[in-house]
Amino acid sequence: MLWSKTNRIEALFNHEIPDQVPIFECLLHDGALEHFGGKKIEPNDAEGFIKGAAKCLDVSHPAWLPEVSRVEEDSACLNRLKKSGTVIYGKWGFYPGFVRKYEKWTNWVTEFPFNNEDKCAEWINEQIEIEESLLNDDSFVKNYCRRIELIKEWKGNMVYPEIYTMDGFYKNYITIGIEKFSYLYCVYPELIQKWVKVTNERILRKIEVKLHYNVSPVAMMWSDLAAKGGLIFPPEMLEDLCYPYIEEIVNLLHSKNIKVIFHSDGDLTKALYILVDRCKIDGLNTIDVGAGMNVRQLKQEYGNRLVLVGGMDANILTYGNKEQVIAGTKELIDIAGKRGGLCIASSFGEIGNDMPLENILAYFDTVWRYGKY
């Protein structure tokens, strides 16, 4: 008998063998969404996006909706979204004075409210005061509950990690950029330490509220720590600003029996033992094989302590032919999935428009046919 997707994911993260290898993706592929969802996904169509994903995924990356191409200031964007009644907001946050350029599946900051590092330090001091004073108001709870109810209606039995979060370190360095953040950490270390601490405390307060209403057995956390060739930051910086706060978030989620999928691009090899043994993450995404991660080695070293959420070579999906996709998918399942512990996904963490639809369909079909236990 075919299992429900929820039962499949719960078994996998309890290190039991499910009925088949499940699929996780951040599905940003127009053709695949239209193929499975039965219609073209227009900008901000959360319902269509999630329903399309639910047709082919066991567990989904939180919705990342297509956008209308534009340049927009954060405050104007936030006000517009609130008026629209949407339940999906931008994942980076909104900051007065920040201006972003939006393209269909991405956006980036084009203008900051500060023009040098000292002005940035003043802005950070303001953010610390704001973060310390913010409380979770009724509108936050109301919006979250409404989102859960709608997504529950749209997703069927697909697992949707409704608690998705960054840690304070990643949220702050991605906000102002790695270069400014690293420079200010050298010049004003106590300022950056306080900013990360206060930001993480705010994140924990939000998670505590969400835990009262969450229905998903898994949560997802982002903190990009690596690139091709290794870690982006020195170990002592991660010890100071990152690992303790990841550990705090994971401990809180574990206290409610929620498993944590940790996401980072790049080659995490040198940090993974800390993330697994100390921070106690349950799953790792993306398994970036193009950056140097080795699926066979990870499986041998971490065995039943870590669910691999990834591992499918994105270069094969992008540049290979159908036969190569089928062979690569089977090889990954043989290496990491035949004894459980694999939730297959692209090694870039997302299925994008640069991947031929024929390859995407061959990939899904091979998992469904070959990944049965």
pLDDT beyond 80 at 248: yes
Phi and psi, residue 139, nearest 5°: -65, -35
Mean pLDDT of 167-195: 97
Other beta carbons within 10 Å of 43: 12
Q: Judge whether 98 and 161 are in contact, CB under 8 Å.
A: no
Query: In three state form, how does the secondary structure of the chain look?
Result: CCCCHHHHHHHHHCCCCCCECCEEECEECHHHHHHHHCCCCCCCCHHHHHHHHHCCCCEECCCCCCCCCEEEEHHHHHHHHHHHCCCCCCCCCCCCCCEEEEECCEEEEEECCCCCHHHHHHHHHHHHHHHHHCCCCHHHHHHHHHHHHHHHHHHCCCECCCCEEECHHHHHHHHHCHHHHHHHHHHCHHHHHHHHHHHHHHHHHHHHHHCCCCCCCEEEEECCCEECCEECCCHHHHHHHCHHHHHHHHHHHHCCCCEEEEECCCCCHHHHHHHHHCCCCCEEECCCHHHCCCHHHHHHHHHHHCEEECCECHHHHHHCCHHHHHHHHHHHHHHHHCCCCEEECECCCCEECCCCHHHHHHHHHHHHHHCEC
pLDDT for the residue 92: 75
Pull the structure tokens for residue 95: 């900051």
Q: Please give the share of the chain, as a percent, with pLDDT higher than 90.
A: 83
- For the chain, the average pLDDT equals 94
- pLDDT (0 to 100) of residue 136: 65
Which residues neighbour 171 within 8 Å (Cβ) at sequence distance 6 or greater?
Answer: 93, 199, 203
Residue linked to tokens 């041998």: 300
Token pair, residue 222, equals: 């982002």
pLDDT at 87 over 80: no
- Partnered with residue 344 across adjacent β-strands are 23
| Cβ atoms of 169 and 105 closer than 8 Å | no
Pairing between β-strand 218-222 and β-strand 226-227 as defined by DSSP bridges? unpaired
For helices 168-176 and 178-187, give the axis angle rounded to 10 degrees. 110
Predicted confidence (pLDDT) at residue 88 exceeds the cutoff of 80: no
**Quick one: 221 exposed, middle or buried, by C-beta within 10 A (0-12, 13-18, 19+)?**
buried
Query: Do 74 and 96 contact (CB within 8 A), yes or no?
Result: yes
Q: Where are the domains of the chain?
A: 5-370
Give the pLDDT confidence of 41-63 residue by residue, as tens digits: 998 899 999 999 999 999 999 98
Q: What is the pLDDT of residue 1?
A: 64
Distance CA 288, CA 224 (A): 12
Query: For 118-174, what is each residue's pLDDT tens digit?
Result: 999 999 999 999 988 877 677 788 889 999 999 999 999 999 999 999 999 999 999
Handedness of CA 224, 228, 234, 239 (dihedral sign): positive
> Does residue 237 carry a pLDDT above 90?
yes
The CB density around residue 207, as the number of other CB atoms within 10 Å, is 19
Q: Domain 5-370 adopts which CATH fold?
A: TIM Barrel (3.20.20)
Spatial contact of 59 and 151, defined as CB atoms under 8 Å apart: no
pLDDT tens profile 252-292: 999 999 999 999 999 999 999 999 999 999 999 989 998 99
pLDDT at residue 65, as a whole number: 86
- Which residues are bridge partners to 222 per DSSP? 166, 263
User: How much of the chain, in percent, has pLDDT values that exceed 70?
Assistant: 99
The pLDDT tens digits for 2-36 are 799 999 999 999 999 999 999 999 999 999 999 99
Give the global pTM: 0.96
